Amino acid sequence: MSDDTIYCYHCQRRHPKEEMRKLETKTGTRWRCIASINAAKQSREAREAYGRQMTEANKAEAQSKARIILHAGR
C-alpha cells in the first residue's frame, strides 16, 4: 500500500492524504475522507443515498476480490 493514502474508517477505503481529515471520536482520533464528512452534513435522504452508494461500491469490490481468489485457486 502506498504511503500517500490513508484508510477512511467511515467508507472503508483508502484515499489520498489530501482528501482526509482527522476527527475526534469517542474512541479517539480517526481519519475520515472529506466526501463522507460533507455527506454527513446533508439531508437524511442524501446521507442514506451516499450510504447506499458506498455499500454498493464496497460490495462490488468484495465480489471482485472473491472472484480473483477463486480463479487463482484453480
**Domain of residue 41, residue span:** 5-72
For residue 20, the model assigns a pLDDT of 96
For residue 72, the model assigns a pLDDT of 82
For residue 3, the model assigns a pLDDT of 79
- The number of domains in the chain is 1
Give per-residue pLDDT as tens, 16-63.
Answer: 999 999 999 899 999 999 998 998 899 999 889 988 998 998 899 899
Which string of DSSP letters, residue by residue, matches the chain? Answer: --TTEEEETTTTEEEEGGGEEEEEETTEEEEEEHHHHHHHTS-HHHHHHHHHHHHHHHHHHHHHHHHHHHHHT-
Is a pLDDT exceeding 80 seen at residue 73? no
Q: Which residue has the higher pLDDT, 33 or 11?
A: 33
Question: What is the pTM assigned to this prediction?
Answer: 0.63
